[in-house]
Amino acid sequence: MIYNDLALFTLVADHLSFSKAADQLGIPLSRVSRRVAELENHLGTKLFERTTRQVRLTEEGRRLLDRCQEPFEALQEVAGFADETRRQTIRITAPPLAARATIGPRLLEFAQQNPHVQLEMTPTNVMLDFFSDNIDLAFRVGPLTDSSLVAKRLWSVPYCFCAGLGFIEENGLKGAISRQVFQSLPALTAGQPWVLENGDKLQPSNVAHSLIDLDVIALAARRNLGVAMLPLDMMGGDLHELEVQDARPLTREMFAVYPSRRLLPARVRALIDFMAPG
C-alpha cells in the first residue's frame, strides 16, 4: 500500500494540487487527502504546506519527490500510461535578461524536442529557494556563494563599460579614460560596485541612478543619462563600449544550479546537458 501512496504523492507534487490529482485518477478529493495524510503519518514528517490558495512541498516533501519521481516515471513508461499521466514538469528560474536573450530560446528548442516535458519558468533576479519555492533548476550568473548547491558552468558572459553616443560626445570620452575621470562621471548602477577582472571593485562616486534591471540601465545609457557596466552583447546602436585605463570588467559565468547531483531527476539532467555548449 505504501507504494500506491508514494505514487499518489508524486502525482500531487507534480501538479501541486490535490484536486487535479483526484480528477486525473478519478477518485474523490477526500481520499487523496486522507492517503497523503496517512503517508505523512507513516513517514513521520509533513510533506506539503497547504493553504486555501496554494499547495507547496516542504523541504522533506521535496527530497522525497526527488527520490520517487525518476523510478515512477520509468515505471509509467514501461506500463504505457497515457501521455497526460507521463507529462513531466521542470520548474525553472532565470535572470530576466538571460531568460529573454539566451536561456529562453534554448528552453523552447528543448520543449520542441521533448513534448512530454512541461516547462514552468520564473524570470527573476531573486535567489529563490529550491525547496520552499519548489524549484528544480536555477540559471544563475556567478560568482556563486552557496557551496551546498551543485553548479554546472554553461557559458561566459563578458561585460564592458559603456555609454550612449551623445553622452560620449558631450563629455569628450574618446580613447582610454583614466579611472579618476571615469569614476567622476554620472553612473547608472544596479546597486552594487563594479567588479573588475583583477578582483578590484570600482565604486562610482557619482551615482546618477540605481536601477537594478539591466534592460532599464541600458535604456538609461542610450538616453545619455550616464555610464554603465553591461554585458557586451547588449552593445549596439547608439550604445558604445568605453575603454577605462587599468579597469577591465570581470567576465562572469552562467551556471545551471541544482540542489543534489545524486537525486537529480532524469528530465532535469537531460535539460542541463541540452543547455551546455556542445
pTM over 0.85: no
Least Cα distance to 24 among 9, 39, 38, 11 occurs for 11
Half-sphere exposure of 1 (CA within 13 A, CB side): 5
Domain match, 213 and 258 both: no
What's the CATH number where 26 sits?
1.10.10.10
Domain match, 137 and 202 both: no
Domain match, 38 and 12 both: yes
Last residue of some domain: 48, 65, 86?
86
Domain match, 64 and 96 both: no
What's the CATH number where 144 sits?
3.40.190.10
Q: From the centroid of its chain, how far is CA 127?
A: 8
Q: What is the pLDDT of residues 213-248, one digit of tens each?
A: 888 999 999 999 999 999 998 998 999 999 999 899
Domain match, 126 and 192 both: no
Domain match, 144 and 15 both: no
What letter does residue 225 receive in the DSSP assignment? S
Q: What is the pLDDT of residues 15-30, one digit of tens each?
A: 888 888 888 778 888 8
Least Cα distance to 200 among 222, 219, 183 occurs for 183
Q: Cell match 583583477: residue? A: 198
Give the residue numbers spanning the domain of 135: 88-155+253-275
pLDDT of residue 59: 83
Number of domains in the chain: 3
Q: What is the pLDDT of residues 167-194, one digit of tens each?
A: 999 999 988 999 989 999 999 998 888 9
Domain match, 145 and 257 both: yes
Domain match, 242 and 264 both: no
Domain match, 33 and 112 both: no
